[in-house]
Amino acid sequence: MQIITEYIKLSTSPDELYDITGQIAEFIRKNNLKNGQITVFAVGSTCGITTIEYEPGLRRDFPEMLSRIAPRGHYHHDATWGDGNGHSHLRSSLIGTSFVVPVVEGNAVLGTWQQIVFCEFDIRPRQRKVILQFIGETA
């Protein structure tokens, strides 16, 4: 049983999704991961990790849904700190910043249309770090 930890770096834009499924597959391949689980963790309080079918339509639908649930607006957070991203924090707490995917015989067990995405909820470009941590058996 082994623990292997790596980082992905992303340069992000507001309201964008980033498909990191390929980088997770590469993490599996180069470390010969066989069976176990990978925790995908978004460092920050205005971002998130989830799964989605990564295609142009849903990349617009997803932030539009969040704009209805947690619209930009005048939040207590903004009143205090003046940074105008109260809604970004709320969206992060709603979607979540941690995601665990099983690896079975060298593959992450995702559906065909199920990609793992990093979600940028903040209102300005950011430099982001996503942690990939595997616990399990290597080949």
CB of 19 to a second copy, least distance (A): 12
Q: Does 127 bind a second copy (CB under 8 A)?
A: no
DSSP 37-86: EEEEEE-SSSEEEEEE--SHHHHHHHHHHHHHHS-S---HHHHHH--S-H
In the window 78-117, what residues touch a second copy (CB under 8 A)?
A: 78-81, 86, 89-90, 92-102, 104, 109-111, 113-115
CB of 10 to a second copy, least distance (A): 14
Which residue in the block uniquely carries the two structure tokens 């997803």? 62
Beta-carbon count within 10 A of 78 CB: 16
Q: Does 126 bind a second copy (CB under 8 A)?
A: no
Collapsed DSSP state (helix, strand, coil) of residue 126: strand
# chain residues binding a second copy, by CB under 8 A: 59
Q: Does 43 bind a second copy (CB under 8 A)?
A: yes
Q: Does 39 bind a second copy (CB under 8 A)?
A: yes
Token pair recorded at residue 84: 């105008």
Whole-number Cα distances in Å, 31 to 4, 42, 45, 109 = 8, 21, 29, 17
Instruction: Give me the helix-helix angle, 86-95 and 56-69, nearest 10°.
Output: 110
Q: Does 56 bind a second copy (CB under 8 A)?
A: yes
- Give me the residues that bind a second copy (CB under 8 A), please: 1, 3, 5, 35-37, 39, 41, 43-45, 50-53, 55-58, 60-62, 65, 68-70, 75-81, 86, 89-90, 92-102, 104, 109-111, 113-115, 131, 133, 135-137
